[in-house]
Amino acid sequence: MAQTLSSVSQALKILLLLQQRDDLGVSDIARTLDISSSSAHRLLATLLADRFVSQQYTGGKYQLGPAMRGAMTSAERVIEIGSPHMAALRDASAETVHLAVLRGTETHFLAAFESPRIMRVTSRVGTVLPAHATAAGKLLLAALSDSEIAGLYPAGHAPTGGAPGSILTVGQLITEVASARRDGYGRNLAESEVGVAALAVPLTDASGRTAYSLTVTGPDALYNPDHTIALSARETELLGMLRVAASRIEAELATASSPILPTTKGN
């Protein structure tokens, strides 16, 4: 009985911590409560199962969940409403479909529906990639001003990570993002990983802010084997499919009756 009460006490302390500060990891919580990481993980797993805490992706940091907030978080609502449309887009395109957000200079993938092809890009959920090297990241950066983008990268330090063909300087990134802002889509041709291509379009919230991106990802040999500056016929076809799916998701989000709460600071 004493051990059970102790677990309840520690679980309540975790909820109090998350009320004070969103986005805490297992190690953060274990250190603050002076318990082992394994104990913290077990407590969090229980709280997660009952929706007292939530994660935006597997292995990510924790926030208060819907059971504590009284409503779905933004990401949960978008995933719930978007999933049927993402699955339909996957079926129509035969490509892997992702939902992603921007955090700082990183692209975080929240949900995915994998292509049925043998030669495909697998789910990136739980994976973090540099924003400058992904279609989703460039599209989401387009919601920021040039000065805000430059502020994300310390003076004199170019974006790091990505494949050999990815953007090397902040100036190049701002130019690429300007194209995404003008054209309404992000593009990646073997920049995040050799042999991988992607297209991304925005998902906007009720205020018109670009909060998420919808992406199709697949082998660049099928998207644009010649890596032409202009979109290939296949890329044009996929972009049309993406825009239709995104408009349907946005329409359902706009008519959803339950309130949407922010998931993390700075998204």
Among all chains, which residue has been given the structure tokens 């199962």?
49
- Tell me the pLDDT of the chain averaged across its residues: 83
Q: What is the predicted pLDDT for the residue at 242? A: 97
Which of 205, 217, 214 has the alpha carbon at shortest distance from 83? 214
pTM of the model: 0.68
Which of 50, 38, 77 has the alpha carbon at shortest distance from 257? 77
Looking at per-residue confidence, does 56 or 249 come out higher? 249
Which of 99, 94, 98, 97 has the alpha carbon at shortest distance from 118? 94
Residue 67 makes CB contacts below 8 A (sequence gap 6+) with 50, 51, 52
Q: Which CATH number fits domain 74-255: 3.30.450.40, 3.40.50.2300, 3.40.50.150, 3.40.1160.10?
A: 3.30.450.40
pLDDT at 180 over 90: yes
pLDDT at 160 over 70: yes
- Band the pLDDT of 216: cuts 50, 70, 90: very high
> Which stretch, 16-30, 56-70, 103-117, has highest mean pLDDT?
103-117
Asked whether the CA dihedral 103, 256, 181, 112 is positive or negative, the reply is positive
Topology alike, domains 2-69 and 74-255: no
Q: What is the predicted pLDDT for the residue at 260? A: 40
pLDDT at 207 over 70: no
Q: Which CATH number fits domain 2-69: 3.30.9.10, 3.30.420.40, 2.60.130.10, 1.10.10.10?
A: 1.10.10.10
pLDDT, average across residues 48-59: 74
> Which stretch, 4-18, 72-86, 124-138, has highest mean pLDDT?
124-138
In the structure encoding, which two tokens stand for residue 81, read together?
């409403």
pLDDT, average across residues 16-43: 85
pLDDT, average across residues 69-94: 83
pLDDT, average across residues 138-153: 89
* Residue ranges covered by each domain of the chain: 2-69, 74-255
